[in-house]
């Protein structure tokens, strides 16, 4: 079976391309051309039957991902399925199942079955949990264990998979030489780094990359090249290890495209505001325009409880400078497993960042949305304002809680509403002789 990338190269327009073109208000032939060149990815596993395809990449609206999944402390899948629906209802374009608790297979399959949006996974999580059960320790995990987890998740319908192929011995050595404050904060990156240091061997995900691509091609899984050494604090941003890994990821992009496999490239992380634009442009250059998927970036380390805000600040600048896909950060980041409300708040914050960037990027329809809201505010049309709000239910709660029924203005200004006062006078004819 041919992948979206291979079909696009053959000049064929698929149903998924037509759906994406309609969503984005773009010519389907342009979608096909960019899929063919790799600058647009349509993450759509052939076995994910409930999926409504979406595109990620050049010229498309900035997409938002929400992370969900069980943990060893909270192994129950039911709350995660509620979070899945909460993320979709809030407007997420994708979810990632990061389950590490018991019954990982059951959790993933339930999420994929019920999800109408793209589902991503991180196979090394399952491989490490299984390795502990099978061998007694993560460091005893084998290359075959890793490939088995990738194959199972691909067959189950994962649309994209984060795989940490760029963490090589050379990259780790650069990190050790330069030194870091937070070392490795990627969970998958830490697993593979620990394995390599213990066994004194090269990363099996790097050595077996061609085998991984064969699995991905079979199900049209998009490989999301994970940044295992992404900076976990501002002090570690844009260091030699991060950039060396990115160089390797650029080479792996070429190899994936050569095999007909679609690619995303993952990026930082914690990055000072003034370094974000350079990071985005460097990735696009080294990875030949492959879609870029970033976590945040978070622009400060000191806001636990508000990291959805620090993430949105960085996400806006990142997307305006070329990032295509934002992974949300919730208020619970660095503190705890997110609640359903945290998931909602994280998605909305990232969607605000994405939309602000889409206005800058000239995405079709982005400015129109704001113009409609401006006109509704001028007309004091509250129903239209609530309808247009990015989070209508929250906006309605505030409106109803602090205003009397049928009030024309809002309780902030009351009788002194600027738009109402000026509107009354502007609508009167002027006496030009006065």
In terms of Cα–Cα distance, which of 205, 209, 262, 258 is closest to 46? 262
Known binding residue 298? Answer is: no
Query: CA–CA separation, 321 vs 280, rounded Å?
Result: 6
Confirm whether residue 266 is marked as ligand binding. yes
Any idea what the Cα angle at residue 222 is, between residues 217 and 226, rounded to 5°? 120
255 is in an annotated binding site: no
Is 125 annotated as a binding-site member?
A: yes
**Known binder of ligand: residue 327?**
no
Q: Does the annotation place 186 within a ligand binding site?
A: yes
d(CA 87, CA 56): 18
93 vs 288: CA distance, rounded Å: 24
Is 410 annotated to bind a ligand? Reply is: yes
3-class DSSP state of 368: helix
| Both structure tokens of 138 | 């993560």
Check the annotation: does 230 bind a ligand.
Answer: yes
Tell me the C-alpha distance between 41 and 222, whole Å. 8
User: Is residue 43 annotated as involved in ligand binding?
Assistant: no
d(C-alpha 28, C-alpha 178), whole Å: 47
What six digits make up the tokens of 93?
A: 């374009």
Determine how many CB atoms are found less than 10 A away from the CB of residue 78. 9
* H/E segment holding residue 144: helix 143-156
The DSSP line for 52-64 is ---EEETTSPPEE
Distance CA 76, CA 71 (A): 8
**377 annotated binding-site participant:** no
270 marked among binding-site residues: yes
List Cα–Cα distances, 401 to 369, 379, 405, 414, in angstroms. Answer: 26, 21, 10, 15
Element holding 333 (H helix, E strand) = none
Confirm or deny that 334 is annotated as ligand binding. Answer: yes
346 is in an annotated binding site: no
Q: Is 417 annotated as a binding residue?
A: yes
Residues at the binding site for [4Fe-4S] cluster are: 410, 413, 417
Residues at the binding site are: 67, 96, 125, 164, 186-188, 227-230, 266, 270, 293, 334, 410, 413, 417
Residues at the binding site for Zn(2+) are: 270, 334
Residues at the binding site for substrate are: 67, 96, 125, 164, 186-188, 227-230, 266, 293
């Amino acid at each position: 079976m041919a992948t979206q990338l291979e079909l696009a190269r053959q000049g064929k327009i698929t149903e998924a391309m037509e759906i994406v073109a309609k969503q984005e208000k773009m010519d389907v032939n342009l979608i096909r051309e960019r899929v063919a060149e790799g600058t647009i990815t349509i993450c759509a596993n052939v076995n994910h039957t409930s999926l409504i395809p979406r595109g990620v990449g050049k010229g498309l609206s900035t997409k938002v991902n929400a992370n969900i999944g069980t943990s060893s402390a909270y192994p129950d899948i039911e709350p995660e399925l509620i979070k899945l629906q909460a993320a979709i209802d809030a407007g997420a374009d994708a979810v990632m199942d990061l389950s590490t608790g018991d019954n990982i297979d059951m959790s993933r399959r339930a999420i994929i079955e019920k999800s109408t949006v793209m589902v991503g996974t991180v196979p090394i999580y399952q491989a490490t949990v299984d390795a502990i059960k099978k061998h007694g320790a993560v460091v005893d995990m084998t290359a075959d264990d890793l490939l088995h987890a990738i194959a199972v998740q691909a067959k189950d319908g994962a649309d994209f998979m984060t795989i940490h192929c760029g963490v090589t011995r050379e990259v780790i050595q650069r990190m050790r030489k330069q030194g870091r404050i937070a070392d490795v904060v990627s969970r998958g990156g830490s697993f593979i780094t620990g394995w390599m240091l213990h066994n004194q061997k090269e990363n099996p995900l790097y050595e077996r990359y061609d085998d991984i691509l064969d699995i991905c091609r079979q199900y049209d899984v998009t490989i999301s090249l994970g940044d295992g050494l992404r900076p976990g604090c501002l002090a570690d941003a844009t260091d030699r290890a991060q950039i060396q890994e990115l160089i390797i990821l650029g080479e792996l992009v070429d190899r994936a495209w050569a095999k007909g496999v679609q690619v995303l490239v993952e990026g930082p992380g914690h990055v000072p505001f003034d370094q974000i634009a350079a990071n985005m442009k460097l990735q696009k250059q080294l990875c030949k325009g492959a879609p870029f998927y970033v976590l945040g970036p978070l622009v400060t380390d000191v806001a636990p409880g508000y990291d959805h805000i620090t993430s949105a600040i960085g996400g806006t600048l990142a997307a305006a400078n070329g990032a295509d896909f934002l992974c949300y950060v919730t208020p619970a980041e660095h503190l705890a497993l997110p609640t359903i409300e945290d998931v909602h708040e994280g998605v909305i914050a990232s969607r605000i960042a994405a939309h602000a960037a889409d206005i800058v990027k000239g995405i079709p329809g982005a400015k129109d949305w704001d113009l409609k809201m401006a006109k509704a505010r001028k007309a004091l049309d509250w129903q239209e304002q609530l309808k247009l709000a990015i989070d209508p239910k929250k906006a309605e709660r505030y409106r109803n809680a602090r205003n009397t029924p049928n009030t024309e203005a809002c309780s902030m200004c009351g009788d002194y509403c600027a738009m109402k006062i000026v509107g009354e006078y502007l609508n009167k004819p002027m006496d030009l002789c006065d």
